[in-house]
Chains A and B, each alone.
Chain A
């Protein structure tokens, strides 16, 4: 396939070098061939995709071109899709057909994309390895014994394996950036409020944000413009103007960014990661960036604070899954209490139950002040650190994850170890900041990721820097060879 990136595809379709139907069939075949091994998809919407592709071809023949006409895309199964199963990776929603479309889905549909299917994910977005899914683990295409990361494991793996040119994901504590890092692709988490959360099944409402997986930064720039913007259906969505990110990346000639490297991010790095990271710094200096050491003093509290706030909010958000109006209902119940307990216990997996219990504890009488309220204050501390840092620097740099992917099963019995792998990503969610992970090298043939964090609503400079980096490097063009 000659047209791999989003931009190549859009141009080819526009110029009629390839039809939308042909391109869509190509990806559907790729999925047929490769996905049995990888398990990226929960649902493949073959018929609907072919039908939409034909529709697009008709439009193009009449001269109607939309911003993303003919672009095939994989949608994380956390976004509600009307008339299509939406499972959130859980047995609880195995039988759920959504009666409406999420705003992100609507926007992408209206922009002309073609949905290939719904991707596998950690159950209710809780996890960092895509091993908690009811539908089985997703494999990392670089080595199928290894995890792709999570919770957006299916979306990341699909793009890395080149069975989808792009996909959507969600990031609450790193669930886009970490899988992007482990799978060697680009993963963008926008500023909290940049993209509507309406129709995105809620995990932790004050942390969740929808985002994108692509193979390069310019692709992300094109897509980000289409999914961003104020949504009157989401009270927490921002009305700040949406710039033309692609145009900014291509035409604006800023390159002498001042980049901050937090001491706290490089203290415990292993040697390989450190080397790749410092090589990347050299490349950025080479294009004119200035590097500065900064402190994000309270970053170390991030994981702890996150493991209070996220479970607390999710314990409440998941109460609606009670077997009454939709979703899994136990047939063992003869009283209302049994209906609730059995349906929920049968429908939820272990990690989800753990987090609900922790969250319930953190909010309960007598513990609310010490846990939830305290964690929200720690958020402010962390946010302040970033605020101060952005007074001195334009962007902040660090590794996305402490190491490469781990083996499937390796961390499943150690939830704490799993939580700690989020250490570089959670603080950005707590502060609501945008961040992107791009490939920066390999260790033992497994990808490593570089994280760029920006100030609120400064996605354009993150994308710009990533684009500049990708002009000097070719990590992002590498594909797994299987």
Chain B
């Protein structure tokens, strides 16, 4: 796997890999790809992809709103909030 691909993947997944680790990572990823590449030869013509081991349909929920939200409990970690908002470094649009 070349650096360009690794860069694209780290961009999409928001990870940053230190330069010193790139070689090892690249090797690991190559080996893993080799392992998973074994499914290539599998005789899957005509097979449907199995998204679920279960064969039933999505249950539906009645449209009733619940008023049991506790913002204080949810925002237990106050270091990330201000006046009830979550804050991040300013985003330029």
Residues of A at under 8 Å CB distance from B? 95-97, 99, 192-193, 206, 232, 235-236, 238, 298, 301, 303-305, 307-308, 315, 319, 322, 324-326, 329, 333-342, 344-345, 348, 353-354, 356-358, 360-362, 364, 370-371, 373-381, 383, 415-416, 419, 430-433, 456
Do B53 and A358 touch across chains, with their CB atoms under 8 A apart? Answer: no
Q: Name the contact of B44 in the complex, choosing from A333, A362, A378, A432 (C-beta under 8 A).
A: A378
B60 to A: closest C-beta gap in Å: 9
A130 to B: closest C-beta gap in Å: 20
Dominant secondary structure of chain A at its interface with chain B: helix
Do A378 and B39 touch across chains, with their CB atoms under 8 A apart? Answer: yes
Question: In this complex, what residue of B is CB-closest to A327?
Answer: B77
29 contacts between A and B (CB under 8 A): A206-B51, A235-B58, A235-B59, A298-B42, A303-B35, A305-B36, A305-B39, A308-B36, A315-B13, A325-B77, A326-B76, A329-B79, A334-B89, A336-B89, A340-B14, A341-B14, A348-B15, A356-B13, A357-B9, A360-B12, A364-B12, A371-B36, A371-B39, A373-B49, A374-B44, A378-B42, A416-B31, A430-B53, A456-B53
Residues of B at under 8 Å CB distance from A? 5-6, 8-10, 12-17, 25, 28-29, 31-33, 35-40, 42-44, 47-54, 56, 58-59, 61, 70, 73-74, 76-77, 79-80, 86, 88-89, 91
Chain A neighbourhood of B40, CB < 8 A: 370, 374
A-B pairs under 8 A by CB, number = 159
Chain B neighbourhood of A344, CB < 8 A: 13-15
Q: Are A304 and B35 also in contact (CB < 8 A) when A353-B15, A376-B50, A380-B48 are?
A: yes
In the bound assembly, the distance between CA atoms of A357 and B10 in angstroms comes to: 7
Q: Name the contact of A374 in the complex, choosing from B13, B42, B56, B58 (C-beta under 8 A).
A: B42
Known interface pairs A325-B77, A338-B89, A419-B35; 12 further A-B residue pairs with C-beta atoms within 8 A, sorted by A's residue number: A95-B77, A238-B56, A301-B39, A301-B42, A336-B91, A341-B14, A360-B13, A361-B29, A362-B36, A364-B8, A379-B49, A380-B49
